[in-house]
């Protein structure tokens, strides 16, 4: 895919940061302890979630990891005191001898395959007592994403886009994630939240998704094809998300949350 667009991503930053804040609120770590913690933001984007970690743990060493050079440039400008590393989450590991106290992944692991192997690997990198905290969109069956796949099957774009069902890692299901980590962890907390975001119109919904979920669909297209795809997608979105009593649209956005804590006597 083409590189991410930080400015487009930040247009709905408050809505994108809210789940990260709610995830962090459930992390059972206390800031200001005698030993400064080591926290890593996996898929840090433009640094909005990293900033939450810096504020929650002001004495911590905070490292942001992302595979987008443009997102990292934006994050470094935002948080010059934090560390940022360009790397794929699937390949990232801390330096030898280092073990994070917190691995925080807000809306990033849905782009990384093989969750049944990935999450235990990440969990195994933690220091004793460390925490793996994950939030992922669970909206693949929502109208917003079903319509992407429907439009992608149109002959005008199907050849360029390919198999639309393979454009994002399928989630395992909340019980399966629990089963993957429960044998390894001292405690696993999983939950599901459906946000209802107020959007001005159908165009705002398309704009929101243009910086994330729509990217694998439109990136392979020419400029003309992209314009046609987005016009047709916008028409269907307008019908799927009608105006409410105040003229606003409600974008239902389910998200899955997971917080797993390592036992204090576990080896990193």
pLDDT at 3: 45
Q: Characterise 135 by phi-psi region: left (phi > 0), alpha (psi -120 to 50), beta (else).
A: beta
Helices 202-210 and 143-152, axial angle in degrees (round to 10):
70
The stretch 29-37 carries a mean pLDDT of 62
Question: What mean pLDDT comes out for the span 77-101?
Answer: 93
How far apart, in whole angstroms, are the C-alpha atoms of residue 130 and residue 147? 40
User: For 192-238, what is each residue's pLDDT tens digit?
Assistant: 999 999 999 999 999 989 878 888 899 999 999 999 999 999 999 99
- Order of all β-strands in the sheet with 187-199: 83-86, 61-66, 38-42, 102-106, 131-137, 249-261, 187-199
pLDDT value of residue 50 = 95
User: What is the pLDDT, as a whole number, of residue 59?
Assistant: 87
Q: What would the mean pLDDT of 61-83 be, rounded to a whole number?
A: 92
Please name each of the domains of the chain with its CATH number.
Answer: 6-261 (3.40.50.150)
**Helix (H) or strand (E) segment spanning residue 259:** strand 249-261
CA–CA separation, 98 vs 40, rounded Å? 12
Supply the pLDDT for residue 266.
Answer: 72
pLDDT category at 2 given cuts 50, 70, 90 is low
Find the angle CA(107)-CA(228)-CA(111) to the nearest 5 degrees: 20
pLDDT at 34: 46
Evaluate whether 24 touches 52 at the Cβ level (below 8 Å).
yes
pLDDT tens profile 37-53: 999 999 998 899 999 99
Query: Considering the chain, what percentage of its residues have pLDDT values greater than 90?
Result: 73
Q: What is the pLDDT of residues 156-194, one digit of tens each?
A: 999 999 888 887 788 999 999 999 999 999 999 999 999
The pTM of the full predicted model, rounded to 2 decimals, is 0.88
Q: Residue 228's pLDDT is what?
A: 95
pLDDT above 70 as % of the chain: 92
Give the pLDDT confidence score for residue 163 in this predicted structure: 87
Q: pLDDT grade, residue 13 (50/70/90)?
A: low
Q: What is the pLDDT of residue 32?
A: 46
Strands 83-86 and 61-66: parallel
In the predicted model, is pLDDT for residue 30 greater than 60? yes
- pLDDT score at 12: 60
What is the pLDDT, as a whole number, of residue 4?
45
Tell me what the mean pLDDT of segment 105-131 comes to: 95
Q: At what angle do helices 223-240 and 143-152 cross, to 10 degrees?
A: 140
Residues 155-172: b if buried by 16+ CB within 10 A, e if exposed:
eebeebbeebeebbbebe
Q: Is the pLDDT of residue 80 over 60?
A: yes
When the pLDDT of each residue in the chain is averaged and rounded to a whole number, the result is: 90
């Amino acid at each position: 895919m083409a590189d991410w667009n930080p400015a487009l991503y930040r247009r709905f930053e408050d809505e994108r940061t809210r789940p990260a804040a709610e995830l962090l609120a459930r992390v059972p770590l206390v800031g200001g302890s005698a030993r400064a913690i080591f926290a890593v933001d996996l898929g840090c984007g433009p640094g909005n979630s990293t900033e939450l970690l810096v504020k929650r743990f002001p004495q911590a060493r905070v490292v942001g990891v992302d595979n987008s050079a443009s997102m990292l440039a934006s994050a470094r400008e935002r948080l010059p005191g934090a560390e940022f590393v360009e790397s794929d989450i699937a390949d990232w590991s801390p330096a030898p001898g280092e073990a994070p106290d917190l691995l925080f992944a807000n809306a990033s692991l849905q782009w990384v395959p093989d969750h049944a192997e990935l999450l235990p690997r990440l969990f195994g990198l933690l220091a004793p007592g460390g925490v793996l905290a994950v939030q992922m969109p669970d909206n693949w069956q929502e109208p917003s994403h079903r319509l992407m796949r429907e439009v992608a099957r149109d002959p005008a774009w199907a050849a360029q886009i390919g198999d639309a069902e393979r454009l994002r890692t399928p989630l395992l299901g909340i019980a399966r994630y629990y089963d993957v980590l429960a044998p390894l962890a001292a405690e696993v907390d999983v939950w599901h939240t459906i946000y209802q975001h107020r959007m001005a119109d159908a165009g705002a919904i398309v704009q929101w998704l243009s910086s994330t979920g729509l990217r694998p669909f439109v990136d392979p297209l020419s400029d003309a094809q992209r314009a046609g795809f987005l016009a047709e997608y916008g028409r269907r979105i307008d019908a799927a998300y009608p105006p409410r009593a105040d003229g606003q649209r409600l974008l239902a956005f389910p998200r899955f949350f997971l917080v797993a804590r390592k036992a204090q006597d576990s080896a990193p």
